[in-house]
Amino acid sequence: MNASIKAPKPIVRVPRDDLSPVRVEVASLSKSFGPQTVLADISLSVAPGEIFTIMGPSGSGKSVLLRHIAGLETPTRGTVTINGQDPQLPATRDRFALALVFQAGALFNSLTVYENLALYPLERRIHSKADIHQRVMRALHILSIEGAAHKLPAELSGGMKKRVAIARALVMEPQLILFDEPTSELDPIMSATIAEIIATLKEQIAITTIVVSHDRDLALTISDRVAILHQGRLRAVEKPAALRQSPDPVIQDFLNPKIDIRHPRFKQLEASHE
């Protein structure tokens, strides 16, 4: 054999005998960055197949919590498990094909949509080329963006980029998908479309979904349960109907914010314009 010709890397099949959605357990999770405690004693359990939304004011620790579930952060105290396994272990992430859809999409600008979708599975050599092609086409179909397969990210609208980012996560057929602000920067119609896509994903593939969002309509419409995070603590975990009825003023203020133009901050603004 000619030594200069590289033998193709073997296809590494990750054992995925059980393709059902997974359970996520967060137990007494605390996280500090230096002196700042960002998450304080969070415990929650997300059931297989559930759509679970995490809401809360800016800076309340939502993204940090999501990153722990994705295995991208080490808890200061407490644990996170996916079907009993530690998400920080690459083997766990591979086994459940855990997918995180970042707010900004994080697409490669020099690659077409098709190439963006195929890149990770091709690199990991978890599936054959023909299999990857089928998976990519199926993901494009689920998100109704087949027509964009050969476009570059710069040629897409913001809403299409979001859809491509979701499609890329679906290629690996994840049993757990995590979304950070999937509808931010989108108009209300595209936001509703993305919410519908998230809601119908579980009819197309067996999947557990965790969404971090400020989008009240999305949270109260498509979620099985909603958690409210406030100053690093869990303020409530409720079904949407119960949350709407919550007597907690913090939750009501968050769900139904009112603009009070007599508030001192508007006076300051007025003064600064004079």
Residue whose C-alpha is closest to residue 104's, from 169, 158, 170: 158
Residues 44 and 225: their CA atoms lie apart, in Å, by 11
Residues 205 and 175: their CA atoms lie apart, in Å, by 8
User: Among residues 65 and 140, whose Cβ is nearest to ligand ATP?
Assistant: 65
234 lines the binding site for ligand ATP (CB under 6 A): no
CB 228 within 8 A of CB 43: no
Residues 144 and 187: their CA atoms lie apart, in Å, by 18
Residue 256: count of CB within 10 angstroms of its CB: 9
Q: Which of 63, 81, 112, 246 binds ligand ATP (CB under 6 A)?
A: 63
Q: Which of 60, 116, 208, 223 binds ligand ATP (CB under 6 A)?
A: 60
User: Among residues 33 and 266, whose Cβ is nearest to Mg ion?
Assistant: 33
Query: How many residues make contact with ligand ATP (CB under 6 A)?
Result: 10
81 lines the binding site for ligand ATP (CB under 6 A): no
SS (H, E, C) 128-141: CHHHHHHHHHHHHH
64 lines the binding site for ligand ATP (CB under 6 A): yes
Query: How many residues make contact with Mg ion (CB under 5 A)?
Result: 1
The distance of closest approach from Cβ of residue 56 to Mg ion in the complex, given in angstroms and rounded to an integer, is 9
User: Among residues 30 and 63, whose Cβ is nearest to ligand ATP?
Assistant: 63
User: Among residues 63 and 252, whose Cβ is nearest to ligand ATP?
Assistant: 63
53 lines the binding site for ligand ATP (CB under 6 A): no
Binders in 34-73 for Mg ion, by CB under 5 A: 63
Tokens 């897409």 sit at which residue? 156
Note the helical H segments in 32-89.
Answer: 62-69
CB 26 within 8 A of CB 86: no
Residue whose C-alpha is closest to residue 28's, from 73, 76, 87, 98: 76
Q: Which of 26, 51, 62, 198 binds ligand ATP (CB under 6 A)?
A: 62
231 lines the binding site for Mg ion (CB under 5 A): no
Binders in 4-43 for ligand ATP, by CB under 6 A: 33, 38
Query: Site residues (CB under 6 A) for ligand ATP?
Result: 33, 38, 56, 58-64
Residues forming contacts to Mg ion in the complex (CB under 5 A) are 63
